[in-house]
Amino acid sequence: MLRAGTTHSFEFFPPKSDDEALRLEKTLSELAPLHPSFVSVTYRGGAESRQRTFDLVTRIERSGVMTAMAHLICVGHSRAEMRDILKNYLDAGVNNVMALGGDIPDDPALIASEFSHAIDLVALAREVGDFSIGVAAHPQGHPRSKDRATDRHFLAEKLAIADFAVTQFFFELDEWVRLVAELGELGVEKPVLPGIMPVTTLGGIERMAAMGARVPAALVARLERANLRGGSSAVRSEGISAAVELCRELLHSNAPGLHFYTLNQSTATREIYTELFS
């Protein structure tokens, strides 16, 4: 897909309740007409979450409507267990995976792992079967990296054996351009898909910073002005406009695609997509 041309893809998380399942079904039906290149499904760890991810990924893949990519994490897994997980995906017809380190869980029982870093998971997936493997990239640097240069070297090592990267969401074109240029200096030319998540509330500014993606001061000021002008609805509209502008800049700069973090809702993603491609 990435060789064929510009992609657009969506990310979901597996539902934890009947209400969340209904909302996700509605979201999937609303986004299917946009014909995404692929969709990805997250996984936070633990047997219950793993099964929810597996069930959702395989159901999407078997529907024939959308191509699915499964997230995998190092935390809490032995090599034997992960080998079985990978084989189960292959048996189910899923050969696209996202190999991640994973967040440290609250449950201490889930922390143990036989993998030191995501690159170890990429290597195992290569051993198990013919997967297309994505890895995570952080334009502002991984929160646990000591500096950006170190972060880029680790990312370059992952991409030496993986197929592509998907970035954490970010808000300025220069962040993606710098990331790609710094990887290029290390000899990496594999696709780096920019991750997109609009800031639609003032409260979202702090939440996104906590997730490792600081919202730049200029965008914060823009959203605050919108709030003074028209309240929460104006903030949402301004946030969508800012995301559309970023996407246009990325496409103009030859980004290989756009990966939208949907939070299992379709409205903002559909609005951005319509502005870009209609």
HEC sequence for the chain: CCCCCCEEEEEECCCCCHHHHHHHHHHHHHHHHHCCCEEEECCCCCHHHHHHHHHHHHHHHHHCCCCEEEEEECCCCCHHHHHHHHHHHHHCCCCEEEEECCCCCCCHHHCCCCCCCHHHHHHHHHHHCCCEEEEEECCCCCCCCCCHHHHHHHHHHHHCCCCEEEEEECCCHHHHHHHHHHHHHCCCCCCEEEEECCCCCCHHHHHHHHCCCCCCHHHHHHHHHHHHHHHHHHHHHHHHHHHHHHHHHHHHCCCCEEEEECCCCCHHHHHHHHHHHC
Active site residue 11: yes
Task: Indicate which residue of 11, 175, 182, 238 is catalytic.
Answer: 11
Catalytic residues: 11
